[in-house]
Amino acid sequence: MIIGIDLGTTNSLVAALVDGQPAVLPNALGSKMTPSAISILDDDSLVLGHAATQRLITHPERSVAEFKRDIGTARTYPVANRTYSPQELSSLVLLSLKQDAEMCLGVPVTEAVITVPAYFGEAQRAATRDAARIAGLNVERLINEPTAAALAYGMDHEDVELRAVVLDLGGGTFDVTVLEILEGVIEIQSSAGDSRLGGLDFTRLVATELVPQIARSVRTYQEDASTWARIIAACERAKRDLTEGEEAPIRLPGLLSGKETCDLEASISRAAFETASEPLLRRMTGIIHRALRDANLSPGDVDEILLVGGATRMPCVRRCAEDLFGRPVSTDLSPDEAVVRGAAIQAGLKQGARAVEDIVVTDVAPFSIGVSVSASMASRLVTDLFEPIIDRGTVIPCSRVERLMTLRDDQTTLLVEVYQGEHAVCRDNQKLGAYEIRGLPARPAGEVHIDVRLTYDLNGLLDVDMTTSDGQTHSLFINRGALAMSETDIAKARRSMQRLKFHPRQALPNVHALERAEALFLELTGEPRKLLQTALSGFRLQLESQDLTRIDQARARLLSLMSMLTNTRR
């Protein structure tokens, strides 16, 4: 069984093809979405998802989230007196999703199709593979998130002929993909994006620009991780409230500012939020136009606008898309589930499932790939020039060749350096690898040539084949970014992760309820706080009794009270 995974910045999902249809699989709490958050208890027990998001507020030094934004970089995160790479933290989320899938499907799972932002570079893709390997998953395919969403749309619209654009605004990234659907064939025509633009950035606008009491002391708040986590959680709630209403309250009693505490009471209007969001919307619009230019299209050439990612629910995002394209957006796709459903369909294609055998999907290279060259200009040698061999937007898999010449008389060596990016000089692009060819025949400049062939596949793996004019052949296989992990590193990471103990699955609802209650306790004052304290104490008492029936009843009472108190606060 191959599963499909949407590894998200804020939430992750897992799905599989069941009876010919993509099915999103629930976690132990019955929820289809698992927050991409990790927390480690005092006994090295590990909690993930909803409970971990609550512990970001109550135990910030032992909790972490948003690490996907840094996958493929050298950044590390301190958690519970240890440091973890984004790959290691992501592996814990993947392992949790793997276990959820095994529980739902009743079979072991070792293979997965994992979605990535279309604008992820090679280092980020390699790091995602490494995270999966640490979790014990073999990656059958990395598929771009908008392409996955297009698969989900195409499966339900096999008979249509149209050109569509997918706007995918998740928690941490924004991707745009232009595609054409014709008789079950989904042809990706272009992709563009920004791996540092997402719903989190809109949330931070609320915190840093729209609430003066926060903005004046934002540095102090950020130094106190627990307080900053409370602020971000409150601003996220306000942002979501503005999706339905014209105004949203923010209430934060007992907010720490330096050595003092204050009760923050504020409100935010949708108009003020949308005005503050204009710079982010302009960034999005620029990316959309770039994707359209690469596909040689204008907004009027597009038949359907498909919105993907929870952040596309914001009215300003929807209106921005409708104003740009001059037509209403489609509501056929679930913003939260479209990507993981597409991943499940791709998993079905890899397994040869008959239900999806008529679907064909192509993809394109998100970045240009080429080599470093030098040129003689006005009697001067100009070096570090980028010579693209595969242009961005080229349908993959593909193979392209470029001929390079020697520049100096009697030149017997040549360094082939491979880069990815769109800048004219190589130092501004990402270096993927290098190979030095030696033993070239000593001839006058330009008489010796090297044919460099780049072959790029759907998983982002790159073959570099080099053939010299005297018949020498050389090859370089690039399948990892500069920071990718070796087999030794993977084994070491697995051993490190094994010391963390997953809570028994049956205990997860209890852990989740406790952490939610503790986080809410921080927010309350007066009589509501006393009521919660009583219910919380009763629940803890039942946990000690080991009576599962009484535990379930006490948990239900606690959750019901928390729901009432939360609604009252609003």
CA distance 458 to 456: 7
Q: b or e along 292-319 (b: 16 or more beta carbons within 10 Å of the residue's beta carbon)?
A: bebbebebeebebbbbbbbbbbbebbbe
Rounded distance between C-alpha atoms, residue 206 and residue 212, angstroms: 10
The CA-CA-CA angle for residues 141, 458, 401, to 5°, reads 155
Backbone angles phi, psi at 515, to 5 degrees: -70, -40
Told to judge if 391 belongs to the known catalytic residues of this protein, a careful annotator would answer no
* Catalytic hit among 70, 168, 194, 294: 168
Q: Is the peptide bond before 86 cis (omega within 30 degrees of 0)?
A: no
In order, the DSSP letters of 330-342 are B--S-TTTHHHHH
Please, what is the Cα angle at 243 between 515 and 288, to 5 degrees? 110
Q: What is the phi/psi pair of residue 294, to 5°?
A: -65, -30
Would you say 24 and 341 are in contact if contact means Cβ atoms under 8 Å apart? Answer: yes
Q: What's the token pair of residue 304? A: 């359907």
The C-alpha angle with vertex 396 and arms to 390 and 398, in degrees rounded to 5, equals: 55
**Amino acid residing at 102:** E
Query: Is position 6 annotated as part of the catalytic site?
Result: yes
Read out DSSP for 406-444? --STT---EEEEEEESS-SBGGGSEEEEEEEE------S
The question of whether 168 is a catalytic residue gets the answer yes
How far is 30 from 32, CA to CA, in rounded Å? Answer: 7
| CB 532 within 8 Å of CB 565 | yes
Q: What is the CA radius of gyration of the chain?
A: 26
Which residues are within 8 A (CB) of 309 and not within 5 positions of it... i.e. 6 or more apart?
Answer: 168, 169, 170, 171, 198, 199, 335, 336, 339
Alpha-carbon gap, residue 342 to 118, rounded angstroms: 14
From the candidates 6, 88, 100, 194, which is the catalytic residue?
Answer: 6
Q: Give the closest residue to 444 by CA, choosing from 496, 405, 470.
A: 405
Given CA atoms 347, 352, 355, 357 in this order, what sign does their dihedral have? positive
Q: In this structure, which amino acid lies at residue 506?
A: Q
Which of these, 146, 148, 175, 180, lies nearest to 162 by C-alpha position?
Answer: 180
Catalytic member of 145, 201, 336, 337: 145
Residue 422: phi and psi, rounded to 5, are -125, 5
Strands 21-24 and 260-269: unpaired
DSSP bridge pairs for 373: 385
Q: Are 113 and 347 in contact (CB under 8 A)?
A: yes
Residue of 68, 180, 236, 294 with catalytic role: 68
Where in the sequence numbering do the catalytic residues fall? 6, 68, 145, 168
